[in-house]
C-alpha cells in the first residue's frame, strides 16, 4: 500500500481531523486550492498541487492510480491510495428563487468532479472518499487492518459515482425545467428529505425524497408543528388531503384515508366544514387526515381534539389553536404551504422492470361542461356538482361521489365497474341525509363515462343531477333517460382516472 493521499474538497467538515489521522498513519498528503490553505493554517504538512483548468490529463492519471505525474509548480505526484473530494452544493444554489441560468456556469465544479471521477475509475486500487461521513470509517479500517477490503473500496467508489450522477442530473433537471421527463433518456436526481419508520407495511423500509435542486414545495416544504413524524401512509393521505383542499377558495375540510378522500365538506366556516366532514363518514375519519386550506382556528382545534383524527394539514395554525392541538397525545400537525404547480410536473409509478411516467393531472376541466338535458342544474345542484367533481378527481378509479348541499355524502372508489361504484355509494349514503348539514338535492359525479344501466341505478337511488366525462356509446340514451326523470346531466369532456 502506498501511503499517499490527495485532498480537494468543497465541504471542509471533518477535514482537519481526517488529515491529522492520515498524517499519524504515515501518509504523505497532497492538496490543492482552499483545501491546501486550510491544512496549512492548521499546521498540517502537505504538498500543494497547482494546475490550470481543466485538470491536466497527467494529474488525472495519478489520481486514478495509474501513473505518477508532475504538476505545474513542479510537485511530483505519486499514485494515490486515498483520494478525498466532494463537490460544490449545486442543488442548494439552483433551488434559490432568485438564481438565474446566467449564473450557473460559474458554480459548476469542473475540477473536483474530474478528480472524483478519476479516483473512482480505479475502484480496485484507490480509496475514493466523497463524503465527510466516511472519514471516520476509512481511518478506522486503515488503523485496524492497514487498508480496505475490495468490497469496501467498491462501495465507496459506487458512492462517488452516485454523487457525480446526482450532481450532473441536478444540473440537467434545472436546465430542462426539472420536468422534461419523457425523453429517450430520463435522468433523475433525488435528495433524501427524511427517513421513514417503515413503508406501507411494517416490514418494508421507506424514505421520502425530493428532486435535487427543486425549490421546496408541498410536502417537501411542510413543517411538523407537533406530534410524531409522519409515516409513509400518512404522507399518502396528506398528499391527497392537502391537494384537494387547495382546489377550494372558501372554507373546506377534507378527510383523507388510505390515499383517497373519505369525506369533504365546504361549510360557511372552518369548524362547520369539519363537523360536516366528520358526520359524513365517521368511520372513515378514524385514523384519517383532516386537511384545510386556511390556518386552523381555535374553534376547529377544539373540535379536532375530541376526534380520532391522526394527522392535520393546513397552511398554518394559530397560536391558541396550536396550544389546543399539542395537548392531544399523538396528533401530528403539519404546516403545508400551497403547492406551486408547474406545467412540467409528472407522476411516476413503479412496475415490474421499470417506471411509468406521465404528466400530472392538474386540470379540473378542459372546457366548460356541457348540459345535454332539457333541465339545467339548479344553482344548488351546480354547487354540489362542482364539489363532487373536485372530490372524484382525487378518488381511485372507478369512483363515484355523491354530494348534497355543501357536503360529500359518500365516496365509493377502487371498484371494478361504475355500476359497483354507484351501488357502493348509495349503500354508504343510507341513513346519512337526515343528519348532514345543509341538506339539498342529491347529485353525483363519476370519474368515468356512465353506461345506461349504471345511470338507471343512480337515478333510482334519488340522484337529481349528474356530472360525468361522457364520450361513451350510451351518452344519448343517458340524456334521454335523464329527461324522462327530470334529472340534469353535465358532460365534463374530461376524465380523471386515478389508479
72-76, 302-306, 323-327, 457-461: least confidently modelled range: 72-76
CATH for 370-491, options being 3.40.140.20, 3.30.420.310, 3.40.720.10, 3.90.1420.10: 3.40.140.20
In three state form, how does the secondary structure of the chain look?
A: CCCEEEEECCCCCCHHHHHHHHHHCCCEEEECHHHHHHHHHCCCCCEECCCCCCCCHHHHHHHCCCCCEECCCCCEECCCCEEEECCCCHHHHHCCCCCCHHHHHHHCCHHHHHHHHHHHHCCCCCEEECCHHHHHHHHHHHHHHCCCCHHHHHHHHHHHHHHHHHHHHHHHHHHCCCCCCCCCCCCCCEEEEEEECCCCCCCCCEEEEEECCCCCCHHHHCEEEECCCCCHHHHHHHHHHHHHHCCCCCCCEEEECCCCEEEEECCCCHHHHHHHHHHHCHHHHCCCEEEECCCECHHHHHHHCCCCCCEEEECCECHHHHHHHHCCCCCEEEECCCCCCCCCCEEEEEECCEEEEEECCCCCCCCCCEECCCCCCCHHHHHHHHHHHHHHCCCCCCCEEEEECCEEEEEECCCCCHHHHHHHHHHHHCCCCCCCCCCCCEEEEECCCCCHHHHHHHHHCCCCEEEECCCCCCHHHHHHHHHHCCCEEEECCCCCCCC
Taking residues 64-83, report their average pLDDT. Answer: 73
> pLDDT tens across 97-154, in order?
677 777 888 778 788 888 898 889 888 889 999 999 999 999 999 999 988 999 999 9
* Superfamily for domain range 4-175: Methylglyoxal synthase-like domain (3.40.50.1380)
> Looking at residue 212, what is its pLDDT?
78
In the chain, domain spans: 4-175, 219-335, 370-491
> pLDDT tens across 442-460, in order?
999 999 999 999 999 999 9
Domains 4-175 and 370-491 share a fold: no
Most confident of 65-74, 76-85, 94-103, 259-268: 259-268
Mean pLDDT of the chain: 89
> Looking at residue 79, what is its pLDDT?
83
Alpha-carbon torsion angle 420, 425, 430, 434, nearest 10: -160
Percentage of the chain modeled with pLDDT above 70: 90
Angle at which helices 475-484 and 452-460 cross, to 10°? 20
Give the pLDDT band of residue 393 (cuts 50, 70, 90): very high
Give the pLDDT band of residue 210 (cuts 50, 70, 90): confident
Supply the CATH classification number for the domain 219-335. 3.40.140.20
Indicate yes or no: pTM above 0.85.
no
Taking residues 75-84, report their average pLDDT. Answer: 86
Per the omega criterion (within 30 degrees of 0), is the bond before 54 cis? yes
> Looking at residue 63, what is its pLDDT?
66
Give the pLDDT band of residue 277 (cuts 50, 70, 90): very high
pLDDT of 178 higher than 80: no
The three grid cell numbers given for residue 70, joined into one nine-digit string = 508532475
Q: Which residue has the higher pLDDT, 354 or 101?
A: 354
Q: How far is CA 13 from CA 8, 10, 78, 394, in A?
A: 12, 9, 26, 45
Strand 4-8 to strand 82-85: parallel, antiparallel, or no bridges (unpaired)? Answer: parallel
Contact 30, 47 (CB under 8 A): yes
> Looking at residue 306, what is its pLDDT?
93
101-110, 139-148, 362-371, 406-415: least confidently modelled range: 101-110
The three grid cell numbers given for residue 132, joined into one nine-digit string = 465527510
> Looking at residue 445, what is its pLDDT?
98
> Looking at residue 54, what is its pLDDT?
59
> pLDDT tens across 417-447, in order?
999 999 999 999 886 655 555 568 999 999 9
Amino acid at each position: 500500500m502506498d501511503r499517499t493521499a490527495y485532498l480537494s474538497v468543497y465541504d471542509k467538515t471533518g477535514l482537519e481531523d481526517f488529515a491529522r489521522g492520515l498524517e499519524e498513519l504515515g501518509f504523505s498528503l497532497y492538496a490543492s486550492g482552499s483545501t491546501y490553505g486550510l491544512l496549512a493554517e492548521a499546521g498540517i504538512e502537505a504538498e500543494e498541487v497547482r494546475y490550470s483548468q481543466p485538470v491536466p490529463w497527467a494529474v488525472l492519471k495519478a489520481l486514478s492510480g495509474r501513473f505518477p505525474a508532475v504538476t505545474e509548480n513542479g510537485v511530483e505526484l505519486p499514485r494515490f491510495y486515498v483520494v478525498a473530494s466532494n463537490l460544490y452544493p449545486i442543488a442548494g444554489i439552483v433551488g434559490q428563487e432568485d438564481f438565474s441560468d446566467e449564473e450557473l456556469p460559474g458554480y459548476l465544479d469542473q475540477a473536483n468532479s474530474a478528480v472524483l471521477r478519476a479516483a473512482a475509475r480505479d475502484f480496485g486500487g484507490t480509496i475514493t472518499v466523497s463524503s465527510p461521513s466516511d472519514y471516520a470509517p476509512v481511518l478506522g479500517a486503515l488503523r485496524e487492518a492497514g487498508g480496505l477490503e475490495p468490497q469496501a473500496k467498491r462501495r465507496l467508489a459506487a458512492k462517488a459515482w452516485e454523487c457525480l450522477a446526482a450532481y450532473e442530473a441536478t444540473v440537467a433537471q434545472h436546465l430542462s425545467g426539472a420536468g422534461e421527463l419523457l425523453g429517450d433518456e430520463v435522468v433523475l436526481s433525488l435528495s433524501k428529505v427524511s427517513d421513514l419508520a417503515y413503508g406501507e407495511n411494517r416490514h418494508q423500509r421507506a424514505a421520502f425524497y425530493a428532486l435535487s435542486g427543486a425549490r421546496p414545495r408541498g410536502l417537501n416544504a411542510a413543517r411538523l408543528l407537533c406530534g410524531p413524524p409522519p409515516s409513509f401512509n400518512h404522507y399518502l393521505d396528506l398528499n391527497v388531503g392537502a391537494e384537494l383542499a387547495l382546489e377550494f377558495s372558501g372554507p373546506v375540510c377534507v378527510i383523507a384515508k388510505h390515499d383517497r378522500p373519505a369525506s369533504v365538506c365546504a361549510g360557511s366556516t372552518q369548524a362547520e366544514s369539519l363537523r360536516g366532514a366528520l358526520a359524513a363518514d365517521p368511520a372513515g375519519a378514524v385514523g384519517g387526515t383532516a386537511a384545510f386550506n386556511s390556518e386552523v382556528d381555535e374553534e376547529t382545534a377544539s373540535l379536532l381534539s375530541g376526534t380520532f383524527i391522526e394527522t392535520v394539514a393546513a397552511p398554518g395554525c394559530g397560536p391558541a389553536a396550536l396550544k389546543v392541538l399539542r395537548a392531544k397525545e399523538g396528533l401530528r400537525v403539519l404546516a403545508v404551504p400551497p403547492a406551486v404547480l408547474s406545467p412540467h410536473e409528472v407522476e411516476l409509478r413503479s412496475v415490474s422492470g421499470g417506471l411509468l411516467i406521465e404528466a400530472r393531472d392538474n386540470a379540473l376541466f378542459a372546457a366548460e361542461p356541457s348540459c345535454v338535458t332539457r333541465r339545467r342544474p339548479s344553482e344548488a345542484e351546480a354547487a354540489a356538482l362542482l364539489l363532487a367533481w373536485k372530490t372524484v378527481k382525487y378518488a381511485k378509479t372507478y369512483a363515484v361521489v355523491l354530494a348534497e348541499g355543501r357536503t360529500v355524502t359518500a365516496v365509493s372508489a377502487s371498484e371494478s365497474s361504475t355500476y359497483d361504484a354507484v351501488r357502493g355509494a348509495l349503500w354508504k349514503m343510507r341513513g346519512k341525509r337526515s343528519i348532514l348539514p345543509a341538506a339539498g338535492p342529491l347529485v353525483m359525479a363519476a370519474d368515468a363515462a356512465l353506461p345506461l344501466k349504471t345511470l338507471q341505478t343512480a337515478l333510482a337511488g334519488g340522484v337529481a343531477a349528474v356530472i360525468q366525462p361522457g364520450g361513451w356509446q350510451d351518452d344519448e340514451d343517458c340524456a334521454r333517460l335523464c329527461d324522462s326523470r327530470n334529472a340534469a346531466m353535465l358532460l365534463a369532456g374530461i376524465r380523471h382516472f386515478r389508479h
